[in-house]
Amino acid sequence: MALAAGRAMLMRSGVRLGTQAAARGGNGARRFMNHRVVVEPNTVPGVAVIKFKNPPVNSLTLEFLTEFVICLEKLENDKTFRGVVLTSDCPGIFSAGLDLREMCGKNPAHYAEYWRAVQEMWLKVYLSNLVLVAAINGTSPAGGCLIALSCDYRVLADNPRYRMGLNETLLGLVVPFWFKDTLVNTIGHRASERALQLGLLFPPAEALQLGMVDQVVPEDQVQSTALSVMTQWLAIPDHVRQLTKNMIRKATADHLIKHQEADIQNFINFISRDSIQKSLQVYLENLKQKKH
Ligand SMILES: CC/C=C\C/C=C\CCCC/C=C/C(=O)SCCNC(=O)CCNC(=O)[C@H](O)C(C)(C)COP(=O)(O)OP(=O)(O)OC[C@H]1O[C@@H](n2cnc3c(N)ncnc32)[C@H](O)[C@@H]1OP(=O)(O)O
Protein backbone atom coordinates (compact mmCIF):
# COMPACT_ATOMS: atom_id res chain seq x y z
CA MET A 1 0.00 0.00 0.00
CA ALA A 2 2.68 2.50 1.05
CA LEU A 3 4.80 1.25 -1.84
CA ALA A 4 1.99 1.94 -4.29
CA ALA A 5 1.42 5.38 -2.78
CA GLY A 6 5.14 6.01 -2.97
CA ARG A 7 5.28 5.02 -6.61
CA ALA A 8 2.38 7.34 -7.36
CA MET A 9 4.16 10.10 -5.47
CA LEU A 10 7.34 9.49 -7.45
CA MET A 11 5.42 9.64 -10.71
CA ARG A 12 3.72 12.88 -9.66
CA SER A 13 7.07 14.40 -8.77
CA GLY A 14 8.55 13.35 -12.10
CA VAL A 15 10.90 10.65 -10.84
CA ARG A 16 11.09 7.63 -13.13
CA LEU A 17 11.29 4.31 -11.34
CA GLY A 18 12.78 2.84 -14.48
CA THR A 19 16.01 4.66 -13.72
CA GLN A 20 16.67 2.38 -10.76
CA ALA A 21 19.67 0.24 -11.59
CA ALA A 22 21.01 -2.98 -10.16
CA ALA A 23 24.71 -3.76 -10.39
CA ARG A 24 27.20 -6.13 -8.85
CA GLY A 25 29.72 -4.74 -6.41
CA GLY A 26 33.30 -5.96 -5.97
CA ASN A 27 32.28 -8.75 -3.60
CA GLY A 28 29.60 -9.94 -6.02
CA ALA A 29 26.88 -8.45 -3.85
CA ARG A 30 23.88 -6.95 -5.53
CA ARG A 31 23.77 -3.19 -5.18
CA PHE A 32 20.54 -1.27 -5.76
CA MET A 33 20.92 2.31 -6.86
CA ASN A 34 18.32 5.01 -6.94
CA HIS A 35 19.07 8.64 -7.53
CA ARG A 36 19.23 9.65 -3.91
CA VAL A 37 19.39 6.49 -1.83
CA VAL A 38 21.94 3.76 -2.39
CA VAL A 39 21.35 0.32 -0.89
CA GLU A 40 24.32 -1.98 -0.48
CA PRO A 41 24.19 -5.49 0.94
CA ASN A 42 27.11 -5.86 3.31
CA THR A 43 29.61 -8.47 4.36
CA VAL A 44 27.45 -9.13 7.43
CA PRO A 45 24.83 -11.64 6.25
CA GLY A 46 21.29 -10.28 6.26
CA VAL A 47 22.42 -6.66 6.65
CA ALA A 48 22.09 -3.87 4.10
CA VAL A 49 23.64 -0.43 4.26
CA ILE A 50 21.47 2.47 3.09
CA LYS A 51 23.49 5.51 2.09
CA PHE A 52 21.74 8.85 1.80
CA LYS A 53 22.97 10.50 -1.38
CA ASN A 54 21.06 13.71 -1.89
CA PRO A 55 23.82 16.32 -2.19
CA PRO A 56 24.78 18.83 -1.09
CA VAL A 57 23.30 18.23 2.39
CA ASN A 58 20.90 15.24 2.21
CA SER A 59 17.90 17.47 2.80
CA LEU A 60 14.66 15.51 2.93
CA THR A 61 13.04 16.45 -0.36
CA LEU A 62 9.82 14.80 -1.48
CA GLU A 63 11.74 12.66 -3.95
CA PHE A 64 14.27 11.62 -1.34
CA LEU A 65 11.58 10.68 1.18
CA THR A 66 9.77 8.63 -1.44
CA GLU A 67 12.88 6.75 -2.52
CA PHE A 68 13.88 6.14 1.08
CA VAL A 69 10.48 4.66 2.00
CA ILE A 70 10.45 2.47 -1.10
CA CYS A 71 13.96 1.20 -0.31
CA LEU A 72 13.01 0.32 3.26
CA GLU A 73 9.84 -1.35 2.11
CA LYS A 74 11.74 -3.45 -0.43
CA LEU A 75 14.23 -4.54 2.20
CA GLU A 76 11.45 -5.40 4.64
CA ASN A 77 9.73 -7.51 1.99
CA ASP A 78 12.97 -9.30 1.08
CA LYS A 79 13.35 -11.95 3.75
CA THR A 80 17.13 -12.15 3.20
CA PHE A 81 17.46 -8.85 5.10
CA ARG A 82 17.05 -8.57 8.87
CA GLY A 83 18.91 -5.35 9.59
CA VAL A 84 19.84 -2.05 7.94
CA VAL A 85 22.53 0.50 8.72
CA LEU A 86 21.56 4.05 7.78
CA THR A 87 24.43 6.36 6.90
CA SER A 88 25.35 9.22 4.61
CA ASP A 89 27.27 9.49 1.39
CA CYS A 90 27.63 13.30 1.80
CA PRO A 91 30.85 14.15 3.68
CA GLY A 92 30.24 15.68 7.08
CA ILE A 93 26.45 15.70 6.85
CA PHE A 94 24.11 12.89 7.88
CA SER A 95 21.05 14.92 6.86
CA ALA A 96 20.21 18.64 7.02
CA GLY A 97 16.62 17.71 7.87
CA LEU A 98 13.47 18.67 6.05
CA ASP A 99 14.06 20.47 2.80
CA LEU A 100 13.28 24.11 3.52
CA ARG A 101 12.43 24.76 -0.11
CA GLU A 102 9.60 22.21 0.09
CA MET A 103 8.07 24.36 2.83
CA CYS A 104 8.61 27.75 1.22
CA GLY A 105 6.50 29.51 -1.40
CA LYS A 106 4.43 26.44 -2.35
CA ASN A 107 0.66 25.88 -2.39
CA PRO A 108 -1.44 24.03 0.22
CA ALA A 109 -1.71 20.90 -1.97
CA HIS A 110 2.08 20.68 -2.09
CA TYR A 111 2.39 21.20 1.66
CA ALA A 112 -0.16 18.41 2.23
CA GLU A 113 1.69 16.02 -0.07
CA TYR A 114 5.04 16.87 1.45
CA TRP A 115 3.87 16.56 5.04
CA ARG A 116 2.22 13.20 4.37
CA ALA A 117 5.53 11.98 2.92
CA VAL A 118 7.35 13.13 6.09
CA GLN A 119 4.79 11.35 8.27
CA GLU A 120 4.97 8.16 6.19
CA MET A 121 8.76 8.15 6.32
CA TRP A 122 8.72 8.49 10.11
CA LEU A 123 6.13 5.73 10.57
CA LYS A 124 8.10 3.43 8.27
CA VAL A 125 11.38 3.99 10.12
CA TYR A 126 9.92 4.09 13.62
CA LEU A 127 7.89 0.89 13.23
CA SER A 128 10.26 -1.02 10.98
CA ASN A 129 10.47 -4.77 11.54
CA LEU A 130 14.13 -4.55 10.61
CA VAL A 131 16.84 -3.69 13.10
CA LEU A 132 17.84 -0.15 12.17
CA VAL A 133 21.21 1.20 13.28
CA ALA A 134 22.10 4.82 12.50
CA ALA A 135 25.77 5.32 11.60
CA ILE A 136 25.76 9.09 12.00
CA ASN A 137 28.75 10.33 10.06
CA GLY A 138 27.90 14.02 10.08
CA THR A 139 25.73 16.83 11.31
CA SER A 140 22.05 15.95 11.78
CA PRO A 141 19.69 18.76 12.72
CA ALA A 142 15.89 18.53 13.01
CA GLY A 143 14.47 15.98 10.53
CA GLY A 144 17.93 14.40 10.19
CA CYS A 145 18.05 13.91 13.93
CA LEU A 146 14.49 12.52 13.84
CA ILE A 147 15.58 9.75 11.46
CA ALA A 148 18.46 8.81 13.75
CA LEU A 149 16.27 8.93 16.87
CA SER A 150 13.79 6.60 15.19
CA CYS A 151 16.41 3.88 14.70
CA ASP A 152 17.04 1.16 17.29
CA TYR A 153 20.64 2.21 17.98
CA ARG A 154 22.79 5.24 17.21
CA VAL A 155 26.55 5.43 16.62
CA LEU A 156 27.91 8.97 16.17
CA ALA A 157 31.26 10.06 14.76
CA ASP A 158 33.49 11.75 17.30
CA ASN A 159 33.93 15.01 15.44
CA PRO A 160 33.32 18.19 17.47
CA ARG A 161 32.05 19.95 14.34
CA TYR A 162 29.07 17.58 14.11
CA ARG A 163 25.88 18.66 15.82
CA MET A 164 22.69 16.77 16.52
CA GLY A 165 19.32 17.89 17.85
CA LEU A 166 15.89 19.29 17.11
CA ASN A 167 16.59 22.97 16.36
CA GLU A 168 13.15 23.89 14.99
CA THR A 169 12.63 26.85 17.33
CA LEU A 170 15.75 28.48 15.89
CA LEU A 171 13.96 28.51 12.54
CA GLY A 172 10.81 30.01 14.09
CA LEU A 173 9.05 26.62 13.84
CA VAL A 174 7.11 24.61 16.39
CA VAL A 175 8.29 21.04 16.62
CA PRO A 176 5.52 18.56 15.64
CA PHE A 177 4.22 16.48 18.58
CA TRP A 178 5.56 13.22 17.14
CA PHE A 179 9.08 14.67 16.75
CA LYS A 180 8.76 15.70 20.42
CA ASP A 181 7.48 12.26 21.44
CA THR A 182 10.40 10.57 19.68
CA LEU A 183 12.88 12.76 21.54
CA VAL A 184 11.15 12.37 24.92
CA ASN A 185 11.15 8.58 24.45
CA THR A 186 14.91 8.75 23.90
CA ILE A 187 16.30 11.32 26.34
CA GLY A 188 13.42 11.84 28.78
CA HIS A 189 11.04 14.66 29.62
CA ARG A 190 13.21 17.23 31.37
CA ALA A 191 16.12 17.04 28.94
CA SER A 192 13.63 17.35 26.05
CA GLU A 193 11.96 20.42 27.56
CA ARG A 194 15.26 22.25 27.54
CA ALA A 195 16.57 20.87 24.24
CA LEU A 196 13.35 21.61 22.33
CA GLN A 197 12.59 25.07 23.67
CA LEU A 198 16.16 26.27 23.12
CA GLY A 199 16.51 24.39 19.81
CA LEU A 200 19.79 22.92 21.06
CA LEU A 201 22.21 21.18 18.72
CA PHE A 202 24.60 18.99 20.68
CA PRO A 203 28.21 18.04 19.92
CA PRO A 204 29.02 14.30 20.23
CA ALA A 205 30.13 14.25 23.88
CA GLU A 206 26.94 15.99 25.02
CA ALA A 207 24.71 13.91 22.76
CA LEU A 208 26.23 10.80 24.36
CA GLN A 209 25.81 12.14 27.87
CA LEU A 210 22.14 12.91 27.21
CA GLY A 211 21.49 9.46 25.73
CA MET A 212 20.66 10.98 22.35
CA VAL A 213 23.20 8.54 20.89
CA ASP A 214 24.37 5.20 22.25
CA GLN A 215 28.03 5.35 21.23
CA VAL A 216 30.54 7.91 20.02
CA VAL A 217 33.45 6.43 18.07
CA PRO A 218 36.30 7.71 15.85
CA GLU A 219 34.96 8.85 12.51
CA ASP A 220 36.56 6.04 10.52
CA GLN A 221 34.93 3.42 12.76
CA VAL A 222 31.31 4.56 12.58
CA GLN A 223 30.14 2.06 10.00
CA SER A 224 32.17 -0.88 11.31
CA THR A 225 30.88 -0.22 14.83
CA ALA A 226 27.31 -0.05 13.54
CA LEU A 227 27.81 -3.41 11.82
CA SER A 228 29.21 -5.08 14.91
CA VAL A 229 26.36 -3.70 17.04
CA MET A 230 24.00 -5.11 14.43
CA THR A 231 25.44 -8.59 14.92
CA GLN A 232 24.55 -8.35 18.61
CA TRP A 233 20.96 -7.29 17.83
CA LEU A 234 20.55 -10.01 15.22
CA ALA A 235 21.43 -12.66 17.81
CA ILE A 236 17.87 -12.17 19.14
CA PRO A 237 15.17 -14.06 17.21
CA ASP A 238 13.29 -11.65 14.95
CA HIS A 239 9.77 -12.42 16.11
CA VAL A 240 10.38 -11.76 19.83
CA ARG A 241 12.45 -8.67 19.12
CA GLN A 242 9.84 -7.31 16.69
CA LEU A 243 6.95 -7.92 19.11
CA THR A 244 8.91 -6.21 21.87
CA LYS A 245 9.77 -3.24 19.67
CA ASN A 246 6.17 -2.91 18.59
CA MET A 247 4.94 -3.09 22.18
CA ILE A 248 7.25 -0.22 23.15
CA ARG A 249 6.67 1.99 20.10
CA LYS A 250 3.04 1.35 19.14
CA ALA A 251 1.40 3.96 21.37
CA THR A 252 3.67 6.73 20.06
CA ALA A 253 3.05 5.77 16.43
CA ASP A 254 -0.69 5.31 16.99
CA HIS A 255 -0.90 8.85 18.32
CA LEU A 256 0.16 10.18 14.93
CA ILE A 257 -1.85 7.60 12.94
CA LYS A 258 -4.99 8.61 14.82
CA HIS A 259 -4.38 12.31 14.18
CA GLN A 260 -2.66 12.09 10.81
CA GLU A 261 -5.14 14.20 8.81
CA ALA A 262 -5.43 16.85 11.54
CA ASP A 263 -1.63 16.99 11.73
CA ILE A 264 -1.46 17.64 7.97
CA GLN A 265 -4.04 20.40 8.28
CA ASN A 266 -2.12 21.94 11.20
CA PHE A 267 1.04 21.86 9.18
CA ILE A 268 -0.61 23.57 6.19
CA ASN A 269 -2.14 26.28 8.38
CA PHE A 270 1.09 26.87 10.24
CA ILE A 271 3.51 26.82 7.33
CA SER A 272 1.27 29.01 5.15
CA ARG A 273 1.36 31.91 7.61
CA ASP A 274 3.11 34.96 6.22
CA SER A 275 5.24 35.26 9.36
CA ILE A 276 6.45 31.64 9.06
CA GLN A 277 7.16 32.01 5.36
CA LYS A 278 9.21 35.13 6.10
CA SER A 279 11.19 33.33 8.84
CA LEU A 280 12.02 30.46 6.50
CA GLN A 281 13.09 32.82 3.74
CA VAL A 282 15.33 34.73 6.13
CA TYR A 283 16.81 31.45 7.42
CA LEU A 284 17.56 30.27 3.87
CA GLU A 285 19.02 33.68 3.02
CA ASN A 286 21.26 33.47 6.10
CA LEU A 287 22.51 30.06 5.00
CA LYS A 288 23.51 31.62 1.68
CA GLN A 289 25.06 34.69 3.33
CA LYS A 290 27.33 32.69 5.63
CA LYS A 291 29.24 31.54 2.54
CA HIS A 292 30.31 35.07 1.68
C1 LIG B 1 1.35 23.96 15.30
C2 LIG B 1 2.44 23.16 14.71
C3 LIG B 1 1.96 22.17 13.74
C4 LIG B 1 2.74 21.55 12.89
C5 LIG B 1 4.17 21.87 12.75
C6 LIG B 1 4.37 22.77 11.63
C7 LIG B 1 5.53 23.06 11.06
C8 LIG B 1 6.83 22.85 11.60
C9 LIG B 1 7.43 21.54 11.28
C10 LIG B 1 8.77 21.68 10.72
C11 LIG B 1 9.74 20.67 11.22
C12 LIG B 1 11.03 20.96 10.59
C13 LIG B 1 12.01 20.12 10.56
C14 LIG B 1 13.26 20.39 9.83
O15 LIG B 1 14.01 19.48 9.58
S16 LIG B 1 13.61 21.99 9.32
C17 LIG B 1 15.25 21.94 8.67
C18 LIG B 1 16.26 22.17 9.74
N19 LIG B 1 17.58 22.13 9.20
C20 LIG B 1 18.51 23.03 9.47
O21 LIG B 1 18.33 23.94 10.23
C22 LIG B 1 19.83 22.86 8.77
C23 LIG B 1 20.12 24.02 7.88
N24 LIG B 1 21.40 23.83 7.22
C25 LIG B 1 22.60 24.02 7.83
O26 LIG B 1 22.70 24.36 8.98
C27 LIG B 1 23.81 23.80 7.00
O28 LIG B 1 23.43 23.84 5.65
C29 LIG B 1 24.53 22.47 7.26
C30 LIG B 1 23.57 21.28 7.19
C31 LIG B 1 25.20 22.53 8.64
C32 LIG B 1 25.62 22.26 6.18
O33 LIG B 1 26.46 23.40 6.15
P34 LIG B 1 27.44 23.61 4.90
O35 LIG B 1 28.18 22.37 4.60
O36 LIG B 1 28.23 24.84 5.19
O37 LIG B 1 26.46 23.82 3.66
P38 LIG B 1 25.61 25.13 3.30
O39 LIG B 1 25.02 25.72 4.52
O40 LIG B 1 26.42 26.01 2.44
O41 LIG B 1 24.41 24.49 2.46
C42 LIG B 1 24.61 24.02 1.13
C43 LIG B 1 23.33 24.28 0.36
O44 LIG B 1 22.29 23.49 0.94
C45 LIG B 1 21.19 24.34 1.30
N46 LIG B 1 20.53 23.78 2.48
C47 LIG B 1 21.07 23.54 3.68
N48 LIG B 1 20.16 23.00 4.50
C49 LIG B 1 19.02 22.91 3.80
C50 LIG B 1 17.72 22.44 4.10
N51 LIG B 1 17.38 21.92 5.29
N52 LIG B 1 16.79 22.49 3.14
C53 LIG B 1 17.07 22.99 1.92
N54 LIG B 1 18.29 23.45 1.58
C55 LIG B 1 19.26 23.41 2.50
C56 LIG B 1 21.85 25.68 1.56
O57 LIG B 1 20.90 26.70 1.47
C58 LIG B 1 22.86 25.72 0.46
O59 LIG B 1 22.20 26.04 -0.75
P60 LIG B 1 22.86 26.98 -1.86
O61 LIG B 1 21.84 27.10 -2.92
O62 LIG B 1 23.16 28.30 -1.18
O63 LIG B 1 24.11 26.26 -2.27
**Residue range 240-272, pLDDT digits in tens:** 999 999 999 999 999 999 999 999 999 999 999
Pocket of ligand 1 (CB under 6 A): 56-57, 59, 93, 96-101, 139, 141-143, 167-168, 171, 173-174, 176, 266-267, 270-271, 284, 287-288, 291
Residue pair 224/217 in contact (Cβ under 8 Å)? The answer is: no
**Mean of the pLDDT values across residues 53-81?**
97
Active site residue 143: yes
Residue-wise pLDDT for 126-139, tens only, equals 999 999 999 999 99
Cross-sheet strand order for the sheet of 37-41: 21-24, 30-33, 37-41, 47-52, 83-88, 131-136, 153-157, 215-217
Residue-wise pLDDT for 173-184, tens only, equals 999 999 999 999
Q: Give the ligand 1 atom nearest the CA of 170.
A: 21
Q: From atom 42 of ligand 1, which residue's Cα is the shortest distance away?
A: 56
- 248: CA distance to ligand 1 center in Å? 31
The CA–CA distances, whole Å, from 162 to 9, 52, 68, 140, 208 equal: 33, 17, 23, 8, 13
Active site residue 98: yes
- 165: CA distance to ligand 1 center in Å? 13
Does the pTM surpass 0.90? The reply is yes
Active site residue 196: no
